Amino acid sequence: MPAATNGTPIPFGTGPATATIGAMPLRRLPPPCPRSRSRGFTLVELLVAVVVLGVLLGVALPAFMDQMRKSRRSEAYTAIAAAQQAQERYRGNNSAYASAISDLTALGAVASSSGGRYTITVSGASATAYQVIADGTGSGQASDGTCAKLALQASNGVITYASCSSCSSFTFAANDRCWAR
């Protein structure tokens, strides 16, 4: 046991921070630290994180893109509604509906949707019927599956709807899955 300067023993762990034995000072050692793990991530942890991220992106990204395309359809609905209203105003002053979208632009119809994702056309115009078609353009809406082309038909006062991916003629019905209401 170390002794103090007066010769009395000092029990280990008590007393001043340093003591002397004769002329040599003793210093108390700090308590031993438990082995700490080095900081950072292991390769396995990083690989697990990358795999989880890949799975999430593989599932979430297609669903997100589908929702974006679905929300952008509102541009087509708005442009078709504007053309429909313009057709009715046009018919109020003429004996037949307009056969071209250019005849309706002064009445509020547009040839392209507000975001430019759809091209609007009018076809099949007569004294009692017309069709308004919104055709998806660009990589986003043109790849909207069966909803890439949206059409509205007014015939004898009855409104029907249709959609397709790339067709030359439509099958109109009272309800269509792309025309959610």
pLDDT in tens, 66-124: 888 888 888 889 999 999 999 999 999 999 999 999 999 889 899 988 888 889 999 99
Question: Angle CA(107)–CA(131)–CA(175) in degrees, nearest 5?
Answer: 115
Q: Any idea where the domains of the chain sit in the sequence?
A: 74-164
What CA–CA distance (Å, rounded) separates 174 from 61? 33
Q: Is the dihedral of CA 42, 45, 49, 54 positive or negative?
A: positive
Place of tokens 């004294």: 127
Q: Which residues pair with 150 in a beta bridge?
A: 134, 163
pTM for the model: 0.67
What CA–CA distance (Å, rounded) separates 178 from 70? 8
